[in-house]
Amino acid sequence: MGNNNTLDINEILRLIPHRYPFVFIDKIIDMVPGEQITAIKNVTINEPFFNGHFPGSPIMPGVLILEAMCQAGCFSLLHSLEDPLKTNLHLSRVENLKLRKPVVPGDQLKFVVRLIKRKLNACKFHGEVFVGEDLVAEATFMANLTERAGT
């Protein structure tokens, strides 16, 4: 881990294939690679999706909260691999997604994602998303390890 047991956005961008405007985690604050990760997303009014979701009443789309949860799980698993830059993780299934409270500009999301099971290239995760102490979303999801294009 980086300074103070955290990884910053530069370290995140070095490992995951996502780029602006589709990077939805800002910092890793705790991680056991391939097991569990805690990541942060600072939600600001400058997010491009707020232009249309919804004018005058901005709410972060639930599908993007799920995407951020998946990116955190992806980072943790990739960080545990011998050659992570040759591998991607693609979402294949979502189970029991619950969006409990709206996420609005000014919120700080804390993602806690753990790997439940890995069998060959199939991985199953469970994630929870908090704003402060409030659980705002949770899901169980599956993803498959694949070869990264161009490697």
The SS3 assignment for 124 reads strand
The answer, yes or no, to whether residue 3 has pLDDT greater than 80, is no
Handedness of CA 126, 43, 80, 66 (dihedral sign): positive
The fraction of the chain above a pLDDT of 70, given in percent, is: 97
pLDDT tens per residue, range 48-93: 999 999 999 999 999 999 999 999 999 999 999 999 999 999 999 9
Q: What's the domain count of the chain?
A: 1
> What's the CATH code of the domain at 122?
3.10.129.10
Rounded to an integer, what distance in angstroms lies between the CA atom of residue 134 and that of residue 118?
Answer: 29
The answer, yes or no, to whether residue 2 has pLDDT greater than 70, is no
Rounded to an integer, what distance in angstroms lies between the CA atom of residue 91 and that of residue 11?
Answer: 22
Handedness of CA 36, 40, 26, 100 (dihedral sign): positive
Instruction: Note the pTM of the prediction, 2 decimals.
Output: 0.94
Rounded to an integer, what distance in angstroms lies between the CA atom of residue 35 and that of residue 90?
Answer: 18
Domain coverage including residue 37: 3-147
* Given 53, 79, 90, 126, the catalytic residue: 53
Active site residue 18: no
